[in-house]
């Protein structure tokens, strides 16, 4: 078997783990979302009161729509539901391509808001369990902050205080309590979900929408996962992000909002090829948890609210300016 000389192998290894410059691979804007993603019509894995519809149904009903510079997807806001019938129509899309080392720049003008909502943007593998999950954006019921979470075990969407499968493979991955991030660590056990709360940045729901949205950015390498957030009005948004330049340099972006270093385990061994998953569920295991829902100041019960008050979901939609995929440069 041919073996690389030690010096050359070392150079290649250092280059692969320390890359900070990335080139634009995909510029997904407007109708390109329809080509880049598949609309899933599965039963909701988190037991939400939703009915995921296909692309044709979503476009015909208006819960998905495109313009030259926008892709919108969300929940139905017109129909009163039969309690014994299907849930409220909503959209769940997953990318056709998979990624490992990557920078994702997610330009959002608006994210879903309102009682019972549980929006998420995450990466995970569509086809195989126990391949990890990165929750870039996730929260429920108008909470004012995003919760960024890394799961190194588990193959289903799970929220930070529950593990849903006895067959999960436990990685033993943890992250240091003190690390270079602007967010606040909630949990450092990545099997259960190591989470970071972005408490001071209008990072979720109505507060995010009030400032005109902004950019969520994830960098995944073999040594760490980082997430940044910049609001649209922030004068310090990196120019390569704001102006969608063909190259980005993460070394110039400053401290990330959430940072998960590969200090205690082979993180790359638990995070394989990931698809990008974007969905809006309603109620479910987290948003619909009785204590969580009640503490949010929301009316009635979660299920009753979804069934009987369609107008309250008028703001339950994503409006994407773009999703840009950058890959490491040689």
pLDDT digits (tens, 9 = 90+) for 248-298: 999 999 999 999 998 887 777 888 899 999 999 999 999 999 999 999 999
Are 132 and 194 a contacting pair, CB within 8 Å? no
CA distance 242 to 240: 6
Better-scored residue on pLDDT, 229 or 161: 229
In this model, does residue 11 exceed pLDDT 60? no
Average pLDDT over residues 32-40: 99
pLDDT at residue 154, rounded to an integer: 56
Instruction: Give the CA-trace dihedral at 277, 281, 286, 292, to 10 degrees.
Output: 140
The whole-angstrom separation of Cα 38 and Cα 213 is 25
Average pLDDT, the chain: 89
Q: Show Cβ contacts of residue 219 under 8 Å, excluding neighbours closer than 6 positions.
A: 102, 103, 225, 226, 227, 250, 256
Measured CA distances, 299 to 46, 111, 267, 288 (Å): 21, 21, 42, 12
User: What are the residue ranges spanned by the domains of the chain?
Assistant: 19-328
For the stretch 52-65, what's the b/e string if a residue is b when 16 or more beta carbons lie within 10 angstroms of its beta carbon? bbebebbeeeebbe
Return d(Cα 112, Cα 91) in angstroms, integer: 12
- Residue 5 has a pLDDT of 40
Contact 263, 175 (CB under 8 A): yes
Residue 145 makes CB contacts below 8 A (sequence gap 6+) with: 139, 197, 198, 199, 201, 203, 204
Residue 10's beta-bridge partner residues? Answer: none
Cα–chain-centroid distance for residue 31? 20
DSSP for 244-267, written as a single string: T-SEEEGGGS-S-SEEEE-SSS-H
pLDDT beyond 90 at 84: yes
Position 46 scores a pLDDT of: 96
- pLDDT tens for each residue of 208-217: 999 999 999 9
Rounded CA separation 317/157 (Å): 20
Distance, CA of 185 to CA of 187 (rounded, Å): 6
pLDDT tens digits along 98-108: 999 999 999 99
Q: What pLDDT sits at residue 171?
A: 64
User: Rounded to an integer, what distance in angstroms lies between the CA atom of residue 258 and that of residue 228?
Assistant: 7
SS3 content of the chain, % helix, strand, coil (to 5): 20, 35, 45
pLDDT digits (tens, 9 = 90+) for 126-167: 877 778 999 999 999 999 899 999 998 754 454 443 444 434
The third-level CATH classification (topology) of the domain covering 19-328 is Jelly Rolls (2.60.120)
């Amino acid at each position: 078997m041919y073996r690389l000389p030690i010096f050359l192998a070392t150079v290649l290894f250092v280059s692969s783990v320390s890359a900070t410059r990335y080139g634009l691979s995909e510029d997904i804007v407007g109708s390109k979302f329809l080509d880049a993603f598949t609309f899933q019509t599965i039963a909701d894995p988190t037991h939400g009161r939703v009915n995921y519809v296909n692309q044709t149904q979503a476009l015909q009903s208006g819960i998905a729509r495109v313009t030259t510079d926008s892709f919108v997807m969300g929940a139905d806001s017109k129909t009163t539901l039969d309690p014994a019938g299907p849930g409220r129509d909503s959209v769940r899309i997953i990318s056709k391509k998979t990624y490992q080392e990557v920078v994702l720049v997610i330009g959002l003008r608006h994210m879903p808001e309102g009682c019972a909502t549980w929006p998420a943007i995450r990466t995970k593998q569509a086809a195989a369990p126990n391949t990890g999950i990165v929750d870039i954006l996730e929260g429920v019921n108008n909470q004012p902050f995003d919760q960024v979470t890394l799961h190194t075990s588990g193959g289903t969407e799970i929220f930070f205080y529950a593990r849903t499968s006895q067959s999960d493979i436990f990685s033993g991955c943890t992250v240091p309590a003190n690390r270079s991030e602007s967010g606040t660590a909630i949990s450092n056990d990545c099997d259960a979900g190591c989470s970071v709360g972005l408490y001071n940045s209008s990072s979720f729901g109505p507060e995010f929408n009030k400032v005109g949205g902004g950019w969520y950015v994830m960098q995944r390498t073999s040594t760490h996962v980082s997430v940044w957030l910049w609001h649209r009005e922030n004068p310090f948004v990196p120019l390569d992000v704001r102006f969608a330049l063909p190259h980005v340099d993460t070394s110039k972006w400053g401290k990330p909002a959430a940072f998960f270093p590969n200090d205690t385990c082979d993180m790359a061994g638990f995070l394989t090829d990931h698809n990008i998953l974007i969905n809006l569920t309603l109620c479910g295991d987290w948003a619909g948890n009785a204590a969580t829902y009640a503490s949010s100041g929301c009316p009635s019960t979660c299920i009753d609210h979804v069934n009987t008050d369609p107008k309250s979901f008028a703001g339950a939609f994503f409006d994407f300016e773009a999703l840009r995929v950058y890959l490491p440069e040689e």
